[in-house]
Each structure stands twice: as C-alpha cells, then as structure tokens.
Amino acid sequence: MLKLLWKNIVKSFFDLKDRIVLSAISLDIMFVFLYGFIASKLFAKVMEYVNAIGLLVAQNSGMVMDKIFQNGIINTITSTPELVFYFKRLAVLVFLNIIIFYLIYSLLHGWCWKLLSAKIRANKFNYLKQFFLINLLWLPFFLIQQSLSLFIDLRNTAIKSINPLTVLGTNYTSYILLFVIVYFALISYALIGKFKVKEVIKKTFVIGIKKFPQILLAYISLMVVFIAINYLWFLTVKINYGLSLFLSIILLFTAFSYTRFMILNSINNIR
C-alpha cells in the first residue's frame, strides 16, 4: 500500500512538468477571483442578517428563551414574524450562493480536470456535461452542509448575544459532513469521461468504501502538502510579507493541480 502511495506521489509530482498545468492554474485563479467577488457581496448581506437576528434575540432574550424552552428552536423561529423575515432572506441568500458556486465551480473546475486528464478521450463538451451532472448529486448534500453550518452559527450568535461569556464547542458535525462530500466528490471526478454518469456514481461509492484505506492515505499525503505550504508561509511572512504571499499563492495553486493528478493516479491504480 505504501509502495503504491509513493509511486502515485512521484508520478503526480512529475506530471506537474506538463505545460497544461499553467492553464489549469489560470482557471483556478479565475475561479477564486470570480466566485470570491460574488461571494463577498453575498457574505456581507448574510452577516447583516445574522447580526440583526443576534440583536433581535439579545433585545428579547427572556421572551425568546422562554419560547425556545417551551416550543423548541424551530417552532420559536416559525412563530416569530421578525425571525421568519430574516430567516427567509438568509435561506434565499444561501441557496443563491450555492447555485452560483455550482455553476462557476462546475464550469471552471470541470475544465481544469479535463485539461489534466490527458488520457481521457471524451470531448470537452461531453466531459463538462458529465461534470455538471455529477455535481448535481453533490449539490443537495452541500446545501444540507451549508444550511447546517449556518444554523449552528446562528445558534451560537444567539447564545453569545444572550450570554457573551458562554464557551461554545467546535462545529464538528458540519466539518465531518463536508469531508465526506469532498471525499466522494474527488473520486467521482477521477472517473468522469471514462464511464456513463450512472456508472460513475456507482463506482464512486464502491471504490470509496472498499478502497477507503488506500484513498485515505492519498488524502492524508495531500493534507501534508497543504500543511507544509501553510508552514512555509508562517516562516517567510516574518522575513518579507510580499515575498511570502507571492510564494504561497504560486505553491497553493500548483498544489491544486498536484491534488488532481494525485487523485487521478490513485484512482487509476486501485480500480
């Protein structure tokens, strides 16, 4: 198992010499700036509503807490017109954010995976079509994860508004769900263009479950790469912030391409 892992690491590293990696890096940068610009506008509005909910709860903490103890959180929200007003708008913003993310991500990242999957003969249109369809499978799970994360954040905001000294736990449930989504999604991307959509979905879960130890090792090796980049940034930022930022960006986007190569090579060698 370790020998195969090392083989995939070495092959993925040498795959980075391909000139097509520069195109993939350009698409990754485009995605970050395009989605980042749109998301920043949506996030500002989301935080406006979250703060408004926190303020509303703080101003009526006694009444709100009584309702929560008597009727539960969900019933309290649905029976309070002011909370319904903000929660409806938050739901629309979360849904809009996910749809925009889905469209931009599927187009630009699908193009990246196609560029780096040189041995796949499927034409670009069919490949992207499959990428969009496969992501429709992950979209509801991502929506659930984002909604859960938002709900926990709102709950924590409300609790902090009532008692600022309250110590809150880490949102592990949301993080675990996100890991599961990413785990299976990356496997499915490595199979796109080789099989029909139904076969890709079936093989994704079969491989993901049966070959969990091998794939997990590959994922851990990728985590080590990103931790190393973060550590390098931490060391160099003390010397020169500009140089540190430049090196981190170059290494980070190169690591994205390395990640795709690593997943492609790992799945190809264990199927």
pLDDT of residue 258: 87
Query: Is pLDDT at 34 greater than 70 in this prediction?
Result: yes
pLDDT of residue 261: 86
Query: Is pLDDT at 208 greater than 90 in this prediction?
Result: yes
The DSSP secondary structure of 124-183, one letter per residue, reads: HHHHHHHHHHHHHHHHHHHHHHHHHHHHHHHHHHHHHHH-TTPPPPP-HHHHHHHHHHHH
pLDDT of residue 31: 93
Q: Evaluate whether 28 touches 251 at the Cβ level (below 8 Å).
A: no
Query: Is pLDDT at 248 greater than 70 in this prediction?
Result: yes
DSSP 1: -
Q: What is the mean pLDDT of the chain?
A: 80
Query: Is pLDDT at 10 greater than 70 in this prediction?
Result: no
Model confidence at 123, pLDDT cuts 50, 70, 90, reads confident
Lowest mean pLDDT among 31-45, 127-141, 150-164: 150-164
How far apart CA 90 and CA 200 sit, in angstroms, is 34
Query: Is pLDDT at 162 greater than 70 in this prediction?
Result: no
How far apart CA 160 and CA 83 sit, in angstroms, is 17
How far apart CA 25 and CA 236 sit, in angstroms, is 23
For residues 204-211, average pLDDT: 92
Model confidence at 103, pLDDT cuts 50, 70, 90, reads very high
CB 239: neighbour CB atoms within 10 A?
8
Domain spans of the chain? 2-270
Q: Evaluate whether 204 touches 184 at the Cβ level (below 8 Å).
A: yes
DSSP 3-state assignment of 118?
Answer: coil
Q: Evaluate whether 180 touches 79 at the Cβ level (below 8 Å).
A: no
For residues 51-58, average pLDDT: 71
How far apart CA 99 and CA 28 sit, in angstroms, is 18
Query: Is pLDDT at 63 greater than 70 in this prediction?
Result: no
Tell me the CA end-to-end span of the chain in Å, nearest whole number. Answer: 14
Query: Is pLDDT at 8 greater than 80 in this prediction?
Result: no
Pick the residue with more confidence: 171 or 194? 194
Q: Kindly report, residue by residue over 210-243, the tens digit of the pLDDT.
A: 989 888 888 888 898 889 888 888 888 788 888 8
Written in H, E and C, the secondary structure of 200-266 is HHHHHHHHHHHCHHHHHHHHHHHHHHHHHHHHHHHHHCCCCHHHHHHHHHHHHHHHHHHHHHHHHHH
Q: What angle do CA 174, 172, 133 make, to 5 degrees?
A: 25
Residue 264, C-beta contacts closer than 8 angstroms, at least 6 positions apart: 116, 117, 190
pLDDT of residue 75: 59
Q: What angle do CA 175, 64, 59 make, to 5 degrees?
A: 100
Query: Is pLDDT at 171 greater than 70 in this prediction?
Result: no
Model confidence at 61, pLDDT cuts 50, 70, 90, reads low
Model confidence at 46, pLDDT cuts 50, 70, 90, reads confident
Model confidence at 161, pLDDT cuts 50, 70, 90, reads low
pLDDT of residue 80: 65
Among residues 268, 177, 178, the alpha carbon closest in space to that of 218 is found at 268
Among residues 67, 4, 7, 24, the alpha carbon closest in space to that of 255 is found at 24
Among residues 222, 156, 231, 215, the alpha carbon closest in space to that of 180 is found at 215
For residues 242-262, average pLDDT: 86
